[in-house]
């Protein structure tokens, strides 16, 4: 199998879904614009740009059998998942801290004098 054919075969599943990847990217950018005042908006725009770039790279990789495009696209998708994983962990940590503070504040008020 020729290298270009292999790249097309590997890129095909994400190439076929490039529209959804771009949709999610553009949607993240749009959601990020009104929230630019806080860090969340910047992250949302960054995530959106990362997804749109990855979708474009998959398109080039598939259509041209471009090995470097495929590597760049995979790196973009990997970056997306890493950002989402880090944000998820931060969210979990904040939730746990809030629960601890909530219970720590609630129990002393309910204790008899």
pLDDT tens-digit series, residues 45-72: 889 999 999 999 989 888 888 888 888 9
Per the structure, how many domains does the chain have? 1
The answer to whether 33 and 4 are in contact (CB under 8 A) is no
Note the pLDDT tens digit of each residue in 11-44: 888 888 888 989 988 988 888 887 767 767 788 8
Q: pTM for the complete prediction?
A: 0.70
**pLDDT for residue 53:** 93
**pLDDT for residue 10:** 81
**pLDDT for residue 105:** 75
Q: Is residue 24 part of a domain?
A: yes
Domain hosting 68: range is 3-83
Q: Is residue 59 part of a domain?
A: yes
Beta strands of 1-113 (E only): which ranges? none
Q: Is residue 28 part of a domain?
A: yes
Q: Does residue 108 carry a pLDDT above 70?
A: no
Q: Is residue 91 part of a domain?
A: no
More confident residue, 9 or 107: 9
């Amino acid at each position: 199998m020729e290298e270009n054919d292999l790249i097309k075969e590997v890129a095909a599943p994400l190439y076929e879904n490039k529209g959804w990847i771009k949709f999610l990217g553009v949607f993240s950018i749009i959601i990020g614009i009104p929230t630019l005042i806080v860090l969340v908006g910047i992250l949302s725009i960054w995530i959106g740009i990362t997804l749109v770039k990855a979708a474009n790279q998959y398109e080039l990789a598939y259509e041209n059998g471009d090995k470097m495009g495929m590597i760049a696209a995979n790196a973009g998708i990997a970056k997306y998942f890493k950002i989402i994983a880090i944000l998820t962990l931060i969210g979990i940590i904040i939730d746990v801290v809030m629960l601890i503070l909530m219970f720590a504040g609630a129990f002393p008020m309910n204790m008899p004098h």
